[in-house]
Amino acid sequence: MIADFSEKEKNGITVIGGANIDIKGRSKNVIQWETSNPGTISIGHGGVGRNVAHYLGLLNIPVTFLGIVGDDDEGREILEKLRNAKVETREIIQSKKDSTGKYIAILDEKGDMQVAVSDTVIMKRVTPRYLIAKAGIIKKSRYVIMDTNLTTQAIHYIAYLCNREKIPLIVDPVSVVKSRKILGILPKITYLTPNSSELNALTGTVIQNPTDRKKAVQQLIKKGVKNIILSNSAQGVFIFSQEFPEGELISTRRKKMVDSTGAGDALVAGMAYGLYHDYALLKAVQIGLIISGLTVTSQETVYSQINENLIKKKIVRMFKIL
């Protein structure tokens, strides 16, 4: 029998999701489709869950990552890098049957992703049975963060467990196609972080103006989602919550972008850092935007120069408090 934990006994964040190798090709000029484009190609570590866990480790949050990599060189490299960032990796599966997942993205000359292909078939092995075995770890968490690289069955079990144990659940929809896996768990989601395309997929609403956006958000809130943090690259981030039923826009200063990959993951990690340290949602999202803003100035999917002292200094500058 798995022990129950009081609120005082709960500690740390558990992140459950994908970990893969990122291959990114950036065109030097405007992309010419159906032909070869001169540019640069880089290889690194990615996966929404992995990226978020990596950031939280760098920010000194006690974090456990649950997921899977292959029993191959790429998988071992991912585990080593996470361990170096102080992420707990002992519960990650190393599969001898599947190779580590891979993600290929094509970026335009501005660093914006134009198209990507994700090979995450290995994620089918993150089963409810595996998660049930790790339920004791999940139950003692203060927050759980989940991405939709997981199977629908795994997603439903995590949502059920968090709801039963009253653990706030943060969900990143990942992509248009994968976002639809959460349609059956909307009432169990505490914080949802879609972009406009994912919001469209979740509601069937084509978002062309503020009225469409409000209609789509209200549809999800009526279905039980507690808080929606909507990324809109043209304007910033909208927060919809009990405090902000009409939506609160946080405008972002457009930094010189090198690579947009990982910006959304950085937003989630920074928001989770803020919530973990008891900041109100508005300020927690602003912390996420600080980290996201730094991420897009680097070719790294996870900005390796991030640390808690740097973020605390930026928080003091922004909020005048610690």
pLDDT surpassing 70 at residue 58? yes
pLDDT surpassing 50 at residue 322? no
Q: What mean pLDDT comes out for the span 68-95? A: 97
Q: What is the pLDDT of residue 105?
A: 92
How sure is the predictor about 48, in pLDDT bands with cuts at 50, 70 and 90?
very high
pLDDT surpassing 70 at residue 320? no
> Which residue, chain included where needed, has tokens 């005048």?
320
Q: What mean pLDDT comes out for the span 306-320? A: 88
pLDDT surpassing 50 at residue 44? yes
pLDDT surpassing 70 at residue 259? no
At 177-215, the pLDDT tens digits run 999 999 999 999 999 999 999 999 999 988 888 899 999
* Whole-number Å distance between alpha carbons of 44 and 103: 10
The DSSP element (H or E) to which 146 belongs, if any, is: strand 143-147
Q: Tell me if 62 sits within 8 A of 85, measured CB to CB.
A: no
pLDDT surpassing 50 at residue 79? yes
Q: What mean pLDDT comes out for the span 236-261? A: 83
**Domains located in the chain, CATH noted:** 13-19+48-99+120-319 (3.40.1190.20)
- Distant-in-sequence, close-in-space partners of 131: CB < 8 Å, separation ≥ 6: 16, 66, 138, 154, 157, 158, 161
Q: Tell me if 63 sits within 8 A of 276, measured CB to CB.
A: no
Q: Is 218 helix (H, G, I), strand (E, B) or coil?
A: helix
Q: What mean pLDDT comes out for the span 139-158? A: 97
Instruction: Provide the mean pLDDT of the chain.
Output: 92
Report which of residues 321 and 272 the model is more confident about: 272
Q: What mean pLDDT comes out for the span 243-247? A: 92
Closest CA to 31 of 110, 120, 136: 110
pLDDT surpassing 90 at residue 5? no
Q: Tell me if 42 sits within 8 A of 143, measured CB to CB.
A: no
Q: What is the DSSP letter of 101?
A: E
pLDDT surpassing 50 at residue 233? yes
pLDDT surpassing 50 at residue 265? yes
* Whole-number Å distance between alpha carbons of 181 and 192: 13
Hey, CA dihedral for 139, 141, 143, 146, is it positive or negative? negative
Amino acid at 213: R
Q: Tell me if 115 sits within 8 A of 106, measured CB to CB.
A: yes
Q: What mean pLDDT comes out for the span 274-297? A: 93
Amino acid at 178: K
How sure is the predictor about 1, in pLDDT bands with cuts at 50, 70 and 90?
very low
> Which residue, chain included where needed, has tokens 């480790």?
57
Q: Tell me if 22 sits within 8 A of 46, measured CB to CB.
A: yes
The DSSP element (H or E) to which 229 belongs, if any, is: strand 227-232
The pTM of the full predicted model, rounded to 2 decimals, is: 0.93
Q: What mean pLDDT comes out for the span 68-88? A: 97
